[in-house]
Amino acid sequence: MAYQEHGMQEIFEVLRRAHLGHAKATIARVTGRGRRTVRRWIEVAVELGWTPSSAPDEALAVAVLERCRPGRPSEPGETSELLEARREQLVKWLRPSEANERGLRLKKVHELLARSGVHVPYSSLHRYAVAELGFGDKRRVTVRVADTAPGEVAEVDFGKLGVVADPASGKRRAAWALIVTLVHSRHQYVHVTWTQTLADLVDGLEAAWAFFDGVPARVILDNMKAAITKPDRYDPFFQRTFEEYARHRGFEIDAAVVRDPTGKPHVERGVQYLRESFFRGEQWIDLAHVQRDAIRWCTEVAGKRIHGTTRLQPLEVFETIERAALRPLTGDRFDTPQWARCKVHGDHHVIFGKALYSVPTKWTGTEVEIRGDRGLVRIYARGVLVKTHPREQPGGRSTDYDDYPKELVPYAMRDPQRMIADASVVGLSVGRFMRELLAGAFPWAKLRQAQKLLRLAARHGRDTLDRACARALAFSLVDVQRVERIVLQGLDRVGLPSEPGRQGEVVPMPPRFLRPPESFTRNNDANTNTNTSKDDNNDGDQTVTHHRAQTAPSVGHPPDASRSSRARSQDQDD
């Protein structure tokens, strides 16, 4: 016959009626218990020192209940004695330790016992482990924490809503919701995004603080990668940008334990509530449509419902109590920066955000840290700010030519005027020579020659180069190699003519090796077969007389006789 569990109140009623003098049959009929049960309860109470003449109490009823409860411990059997002798070893195997994050499976423990010579049935081992060692007991003792003060805590979590059309890509994409719940009032804000990046997290929190018109003192969030770089139960590592944002807004970051939803219980159930009450069953045009209706839902639906725990409307509690307790929202909207580690290439530039930024020569070949926001890019070397640039679009470039070595700046800038100015500092004639050299429509095509000219000043001295350039200009030799030859041959020390009254200024000499215009005229005399021309040479050459009879014979095969005769006859006809 199956045992029927009885309660303390039922035993107390039987004893009370026995004290009033009711017969056992009457007590059994009134209470609905069997006569044997009524008789046994009364006998046990008498064994415990009770007399029917005295009124019973609840303590007596509890004592009778414990005495009559079945399943009282019996003497351990042989199997239990074997396992009890190895209790310490079983505890080491079954319970987790520092070496083992979790204990061994009971099946494995059964095998290990058999190897050590202890052969017991698996069912007996399981019964002993459950009864004596707490194996398989998933029940945990929990407590309710004290209620938080108004404006003290906000819980944050991402939750997946569903699929929404994306007009930009023409596809349907999964939409995510960042839910921010104020713990005291249970009022919440929903920010809808496509992704769960750091920028999405910061933008969602900024929108939430604007919606609440204040900032809580502490923010609890799970170990999302956008905010936590290394999760830890006691000392997690926060993402540097998110930590900077927390300082900017003045709240403390509180990371929940990994895979422990009880660390932020007030927002956990909000994900399912949002998805079932707001998102599912609706027709959505795009993400902006979802965001507009989400704000309306937070205010008109979720905010005005009777909360299951507080039995109050979250929006009403927020408006009357918690809004005034929040910290004021001050300062500009946080500009979320990006951080990166890059190597400075040999061309003095780093690549950040698919754009180029220059770095001084000192840091070429080293690794630097780069912080970029919407407006500026800051470059740090060994923790020190070494360069700041305006933010460029992908494919752009920001170059400060002062980062280059001075001797390479004009060539890099393709700036002829700067080269001319540098040459004028070396000497007056060098500046004039540089101006002549870089004249034309494409001066940067001769920048390498201009660099060589300035290097000659460092190698041979400014005065020597200035005299060499003066001599080259006197002969209209705008060629850097000729200038170098003048220097090497010492011709810069040879004096040059100058006009009276214009001392110190070089006057170009008249050209020497040009023919006079008369040498290109030809006098055709019909009565003579000779053509005498004189080539006047400024160098004093003799006059040369050219005569047709003195013309050198042609080299090659003799002409065709027939053709020659035809040519003579034709000449005679003429």
- Is 22 inside a domain boundary? yes
| pLDDT value of position 561 | 42
Contact 410/447 with Cβ under 8 angstroms?
yes
DSSP states of 61-102: HHHHHHHH-S-------HHHHHHHHTHHHHHHHHS--SS-SS
| pLDDT value of position 141 | 66
* Angle at alpha carbon of residue 223, lines to 222 and 229, rounded to 5°: 150
Hey, which bits of 373-427 come out as E strands? 376-381, 384-390, 397-398
* Same domain flag for 396 and 357: yes
Label the pairing between strands 349-352 and 397-398.
Answer: unpaired
Cα dihedral 117→118→119→124 (10° resolution): -170
Nearest partner of 248 among 133, 137, 332, judged by Cα? 332
* Same domain flag for 216 and 353: no
- Euclidean distance between CA atoms 179 and 270, whole angstroms: 8
DSSP states of 261-325: GGGSHHHHHHHHHHIIIIITT----SHHHHHHHHHHHIIIIITTS--TTT-S-HHHHIIIIIHHH
One-letter amino acid at 163 equals V
* Same domain flag for 450 and 306: no
* Same domain flag for 287 and 202: yes
User: What is the widest separation between alpha-carbon atoms in the chain?
Assistant: 181
* Same domain flag for 160 and 128: no
* Same domain flag for 189 and 88: no
* Same domain flag for 159 and 13: no
Looking at 457, 474, 493, which one is the last position of a domain?
Answer: 493
* Same domain flag for 174 and 61: no
- Is 548 inside a domain boundary? no
* Same domain flag for 377 and 452: no
- Is 546 inside a domain boundary? no
- Is 560 inside a domain boundary? no
Query: Using the 8-state DSSP alphabet, how is residue 164 labeled?
Result: E
**Domain boundaries, position 113:** 78-133
Sites in the chain below the pLDDT cut of 70? 1-6, 70-76, 97-101, 137-141, 406-415, 441-442, 444, 496-517, 520-574
- Is 237 inside a domain boundary? yes
- Is 418 inside a domain boundary? yes
φ, ψ of residue 352 to 5 degrees: the values are: -140, 125
* Same domain flag for 234 and 319: yes
* Same domain flag for 400 and 414: no
- Tell me how long the chain is: 574
Number of domains the chain is built from: 5
Residues 58-80 pLDDT 10s: 898 888 888 887 655 555 678 88
- Pair of tokens at residue 276: 């079932």
- Is 550 inside a domain boundary? no
In the beta sheet, which residues pair with residue 171?
166
Query: Using the 8-state DSSP alphabet, how is residue 391 labeled?
Result: -
Nearest partner of 222 among 175, 269, 258, judged by Cα? 258
| pLDDT value of position 507 | 55
The single residue listed with the structure tokens 């046994």 is 40
Looking at 28, 49, 68, which one is the last position of a domain?
Answer: 68
- Is 142 inside a domain boundary? no
Nearest partner of 186 among 154, 222, 143, 145, judged by Cα? 154
- Euclidean distance between CA atoms 431 and 419, whole angstroms: 9
In the beta sheet, which residues pair with residue 367?
343
* Same domain flag for 252 and 358: no
* Angle at alpha carbon of residue 248, lines to 247 and 249, rounded to 5°: 90
